[in-house]
Amino acid sequence: MHTTNGDKTGSADDWLTYRGRWVNVTFMIKKGDEEYLVTLRDGRVMHLQPGPHVMPRWTFALVAGEDAWQRFWAHEPQPRFHDLMAMVKFNTLRVEGDPTIFMSNLLYFKELVKRLGGQLHAR
């Protein structure tokens, strides 16, 4: 990858932005009773808005209990909580709404949600 000044970079943020360069969506992460709207433009997080929201507009939502998210965002997640799709398989995470963008960019969203955990976990 190259930055605008021609320097080669290999940071994880550059990789994630490159991976999601076609992703433009607003989605919701629901952690127990807490809601967060995440707006992405060209693979970058533009807004991270904590709720409550009045009639929020989102394409898909990732819904799980607070305990499930805590386990997912743990330094070394336990089996069944190590991956978003594992959480879906074992009914600890629901994907609501239109899952097309989520499934089409699954690797991007797995890494993005893992990284967002640090910001959401602190709230």
What span, in angstroms and rounded, lies between the C-alpha atoms of 53 and 57?
Answer: 9
Q: Could you tell me which residue, 122 or 77, shows the higher pLDDT? A: 77
What pLDDT score was predicted for residue 5?
40
Beta strands in 2-120 (DSSP E): 25-31, 34-41, 44-50, 60-64, 93-97
At CA 18, angle to CA 15 and CA 21, rounded to 5? 150
Q: Could you report the per-residue pLDDT of 12-48, keeping only the tens digit for each?
A: 688 889 999 999 999 999 999 999 999 999 999 999 9
Stronger pLDDT, 30 or 52, i.e. the higher one: 30
Per-residue model confidence as pLDDT tens digits over 86-121: 999 999 999 999 999 999 999 999 999 999 987 776
Answer yes or no: are the C-beta atoms of 95 and 88 closer than 8 Å: yes
pLDDT tops 80 at residue 11? no
DSSP category for residue 54: S
User: What b/e readout covers 65-83, taking b as 16+ CB neighbours within 10 angstroms?
Assistant: eeebbbbbbeeebeeebee
DSSP summary character for residue 8: B
